[in-house]
Structure 1
Amino acid sequence: MVDLTIWTTWNSMIPMLSFISPPLLLAETAEAELGPMVLAGVLVSLIVIYLSSKLIGELCARINLPPVLGELLAGVLIGVSVLNLLIFPGEGEESTSILLTFLQATDGLTPELTAQVAESIGEVITVLSEVGVIILLFEIGLESDLKELIRVGPQAAVVAVIGVVVPFTLGTAGLIALFGVPAVPAIFAGAALTATSIGITAKVLAEIQRLTSREGQIIIGAAVLDDVLGIIVLAVVASLAKTGEIQISNIIYLIVSATIFLIGAILLGRLFNPYFVALVDRLKTRGQIILPALIFAFVLAYIGAAIQLEAILGAFAAGLVLAETEKRTEIEEQVIPIADMLVPIFFVVVGAKTDISVLNPFNPANREGLIIATFLVVIAILGKVVTGLGVFGQPGINRLAIGVGMVPRGEVGLVFAGVGSATGVLSESLDAAIIVMVIVTTFIAPPLLRLVFREESEDVETVESLPKTE
């Protein structure tokens, strides 16, 4: 009786199993196919990124423009504005990237897997770009002089505070008074004006060999502090947009954690240096210098991200610390090829995510945004250029170069725009205006920075060429 019951039950389950099994097998097959297709998409994306950045970067270098500008322009060319080759997280089924069409034609990508593959490719490229900016700031830290940064610290702090207060105040008040923008959206737009892209400025300074100059060190120190202040401002306005009130506890936490992190990392790093050198000298396998250095950089970057600061601040602090060791030159030499591989991804992705269609004046929907954007661009430039006036006790220093060095908003400005858009407090015209401001300041700052430093060099050469009087 029991055997008959089991047999009857099994016979009744067979149709059910035959109905369930094919979808399960299809799901397993689809999952197995996903990895190779994502890898193929990432490889094609990297080919496009490297090829475009190299071609346009070389072109810019030959017409005496910063190569980093070429990488940004390459991003615009292959990004959402023109060719739409790259894919970014969140696009999913909405993505119309040519890259996906190419994969469908050459790698057998099926419509069922397209959304998943697109999402995974976008996430990988975004992560690589974020690792790229971490490596960039680590390299900049290695090339910086900690003693000089400490010496110019008070001046960098003044420059940073001016660079936050002036554009924020003028931008917020102007939007309310001139354009009738409500208080909360105006505050958010004013906050976006406070951002400074340390990555873009640092790359230009390194390219024109001004990173270790007095101006370069003040700019880098101020940009780091400006980044910290920008994070605090962003936290304040984001909470204001969500809840209508400012959370004082969150502000205090960010200020205290930022201070402890930056000072603590440098002080503890100095105690760590002898042990680092001793460890490196005892290692016998490949990567005996660069791998421990990267581990240290990534640990500080992780801590920076974990305490709600920026990972790039941790990487920069790690570079400053290791720059004090006798292994500095060797680490620099070995990190350069890694930076050459990863950093262009960051700048291309920044350009690729920038939608320049908002600059089209023939589209009636853009006109209100362009009018507001014109105001924001003026405030964005003037609000940073005046920071040079905060430099004191430095005769002969190029204050204009310091101000111009603080102008680019870059990826930091895009973060502000993204958070503002996500909260829903920004109107379409104001959101477009902020993006235009970010685009303009990001693209004009590199050539302007090179120009103001070149004029200074020409003035010095003119003075030196004058006949000396007895």
Structure 2
Amino acid sequence: KEMRGLSRDIVWATVLNTSVPFLLGVLVMLALGYGWGIAFVIGLTRMPTAEAVIVPILDEFQLIRTRVGEFIVGAGVLDDVIEVFLVALVSVWIGEKSGAIAATEREVVDVVISLLVFALVAWLGYRWILPQLARWLAPRPRNLILLTMLVLFGLGGYSQHSELGTVVGAITAGVLLGPVFRHAGEGGAQATRAVRAVSYGFFGLVFFFWVGLSVDLEGMLRQPQLALLLFLAAFIGKLLGIFLMVPMGKLDVREAWTVGIGLNARLTTEIIVAKLLLDAGLIDVELFTALVAASSVSTLVVPLTFTLLVRSWGEQLRRRPQALATKGERHGD
């Protein structure tokens, strides 16, 4: 209920904390002499947030149901939609550049139709199909894991067949199954732990080993400027975007610092996008390494900084600022 009351402000937070780092990322790439196409895609990689890294910290300090927690979780949920769009866009672009998708008007229309059909299927699954299946199945971990496999292979297979890329189907499956697992109670929690154990404990290690084989650490240590600029474009961009909500009366300064740092958690979809671009020959090893390094720095710095902030300001953040809320409502009216 509280998050629904903040829905307009959460949308504002999502727009600002994605558009500003996108613009800074584009400007950095253009200033370094890259073309508009690469600059646009790299700018998009500055937008995603790995809110799952921050949620356990919020839970530990009992901040999930505070304004800060609702802004971070709400913006993170909307950010999942951006991640699906980002991977779909890059997959189609790679197909066109590599010749897998001919740049004819008919085939462009086919891709657009496939994307619309995929979006319709995902929406129907979210609103009706998956909730009905969840009610029909007993909320046992094995049933939920079987449902996960069916949805994952179904959406992944269709997205690959329609030239959108398997990753689009995988991310969408995760977004759709999240509410099903949460509503399944203890069975959903057990299934979530099982899926995470396999995903992070096995597939995650394989993925990062695969990524690490392509990283040029020696070259990055000689010239770390590109990685630093990409990190700052995302970090400062997200902070600046959230701080724009302070004069709007939506957040106070403490909340802006905490939300801005929390939404800077990285090492998510941008690594997948970077690897896809590298394998397609659309970016070089230097840029790929810089993207991985920028995300890795965020992964190391952000959780520690966020923990220090909530440890210092936790009591103030847990007290809902009624005056600020009233001011924000008057501003919205």
Q: Give the TM-score taking structure 2 as reference length.
A: 0.71
Aligned counterpart in structure 2 of residue 305 of structure 1, from 128, 149, 156: 156
Q: 1:157-188: per-residue Cα shift (whole Å, max 9, x none)? A: 333333332222221222212x2223333233
Structure 1 unmatched ranges of 5 or more: 1-146, 281-287, 464-470
Question: Using the alignment, how far apart are the partners of 1:393 and 1:264 within structure 2?
Answer: 37
Aligned counterpart in structure 1 of residue 198 of structure 2, from 324, 338, 342: 342
Question: Using the alignment, how far apart are the partners of 1:240 and 1:261 within structure 2?
Answer: 22
The Cα shift of 1:294 comes to 2.8
- The percent identity for this pair of structures is 21
Question: Using the alignment, how far apart are the partners of 2:214 and 2:148 within structure 1?
Answer: 38
Q: 1:316-364: per-residue Cα shift (whole Å, max 9, x none)? A: 433424544xx52x3255336525743541555565456499685xx4x
The Cα shift of 1:373 comes to 1.4
- Superposed, 1:37-186 pairs within 5 Å as 150-177=4-31, 179-186=32-39
Structure 1 pair 371/338, CA: closer, same or farther in 2 (3 Å)?
Answer: same
RMSD across aligned positions (CA): 3.9
Structure 1 pair 211/294, CA: closer, same or farther in 2 (3 Å)?
Answer: farther
Number of residues paired by the alignment? 300
Query: Could you say what secondary structure the match of 1:291 adopts?
Result: helix
- Superposed, 1:304-343 pairs within 5 Å as 304-308=155-159, 309-321=168-180, 323-324=182-183, 328=185, 330-332=186-188, 334-335=190-191, 338=194, 341-342=197-198
Question: Using the alignment, how far apart are the partners of 1:231 and 1:310 within structure 2?
Answer: 8
Structure possessing the higher relative contact order (Cα contacts under 8 Å, 6 or more residues apart): 2
Q: 1:412-438: per-residue Cα shift (whole Å, max 9, x none)? A: 121111011112121332222212112
Structure 1 pair 459/441, CA: closer, same or farther in 2 (3 Å)?
Answer: same
Which residue identity is paired with 1:172? V
Q: 1:19-47: per-residue Cα shift (whole Å, max 9, x none)? A: xxxxxxxxxxxxxxxxxxxxxxxxxxxxx
Structure 1 pair 258/454, CA: closer, same or farther in 2 (3 Å)?
Answer: farther
- Superposed, 1:256-335 pairs within 5 Å as 257-258=118-119, 261-262=122-123, 264-270=125-131, 275-276=135-136, 280=138, 289-308=140-159, 309-321=168-180, 323-324=182-183, 328=185, 330-332=186-188, 334-335=190-191
Structure-1 residue corresponding to 2:46: 193
Question: Using the alignment, how far apart are the partners of 2:42 and 2:10 within structure 1?
Answer: 24
Structure-2 residue corresponding to 1:283: none
Question: Using the alignment, how far apart are the partners of 1:192 and 1:240 within structure 2?
Answer: 15
Structure-1 residue corresponding to 2:272: 415
Question: Using the alignment, how far apart are the partners of 1:150 and 1:259 within structure 2?
Answer: 24
Q: Is the 8 A contact 1:228 1:258 kept in 2?
A: no
Question: Does structure 1 residue 450 correspond to structure 2 residue 293?
Answer: no
Larger Rg belongs to:
1
Q: Give the TM-score taking structure 1 as reference length.
A: 0.53
Q: 1:38-96: per-residue Cα shift (whole Å, max 9, x none)? A: xxxxxxxxxxxxxxxxxxxxxxxxxxxxxxxxxxxxxxxxxxxxxxxxxxxxxxxxxxx
